[in-house]
């Protein structure tokens, strides 16, 4: 069963999930992953941030099966991301490949967001990211 693993770079963001902090935003890890994937996509697509090539994954939380994303209405977003690539057909017909692509976006989004959130109030910073059309990408070393 194809699944998306939890990138190690997203570990600092676990505090945004229910069960890890009082002021959580995401009720499930899948929601966090979906959000990070979208953010990673923006960084990559709009700001040419390179997707990480070598990824490390956390053993906990476990990998999340793709069906779970489908159930939470997030799979479509993954396909939309995939369709941005010329090789979209391969991603859309091969779930494992799609999962790997999404994992890279999640990792990129996590690295960037962890850095931002380390500096200020998490919630308001995320709000700013969502409202603003522009993101000032920092130099990120992946």
CB of 56 to another protein, least distance (A): 22
**Interaction of residue 19 with another protein, rule CB under 8 A:** no
Task: Give CA torsion, residues 34, 124, 46, 95, to 10 deg.
Answer: 0
Q: Is 56 helix (H, G, I), strand (E, B) or coil?
A: coil
Q: What is the largest CA-CA distance in the chain?
A: 42
56 vs 84 by CB, closer to another protein: 84
Helical residues (DSSP H) of 4-135, grouped into ranges: 29-47, 66-71, 75-83, 88-93, 95-117, 122-131
Length of the chain: 142
CB of 74 to another protein, least distance (A): 6
Stretch that binds another protein, among 6-14, 38-46, 50-58 (CB under 8 A): 38-46
CB of 92 to another protein, least distance (A): 6
Are 81 and 4 in contact by the 8 Å Cβ rule? The answer is no
Q: Report the residue from 55, 63, 92, 117 that binds another protein according to the rule CB under 8 A.
A: 92
Residue numbers of the site for another protein (CB under 8 A)?
Answer: 23-27, 31, 34-39, 41-42, 45-46, 73-77, 79-81, 83-84, 88, 92-93, 123-124, 126-127, 130-131
């Amino acid at each position: 069963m194809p699944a998306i693993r939890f990138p190690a770079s997203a570990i600092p963001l676990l505090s945004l999930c229910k069960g890890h902090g009082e002021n959580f935003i995401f009720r499930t890890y899948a929601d966090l992953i979906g959000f990070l994937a979208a953010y990673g996509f923006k960084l990559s697509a709009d700001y040419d941030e390179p997707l990480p090539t070598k990824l490390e994954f956390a053993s906990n939380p476990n990998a999340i099966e793709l069906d779970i994303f489908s159930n939470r209405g997030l799979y479509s977003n993954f396909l939309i991301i995939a369709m941005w690539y010329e090789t979209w057909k391969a991603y859309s017909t091969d779930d494992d490949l799609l999962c790997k692509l999404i994992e890279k976006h999640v990792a990129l989004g996590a690295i960037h967001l962890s850095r931002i959130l380390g500096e200020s109030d998490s919630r308001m910073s995320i709000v700013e990211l969502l409202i603003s059309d522009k993101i000032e990408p920092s130099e990120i070393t992946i």
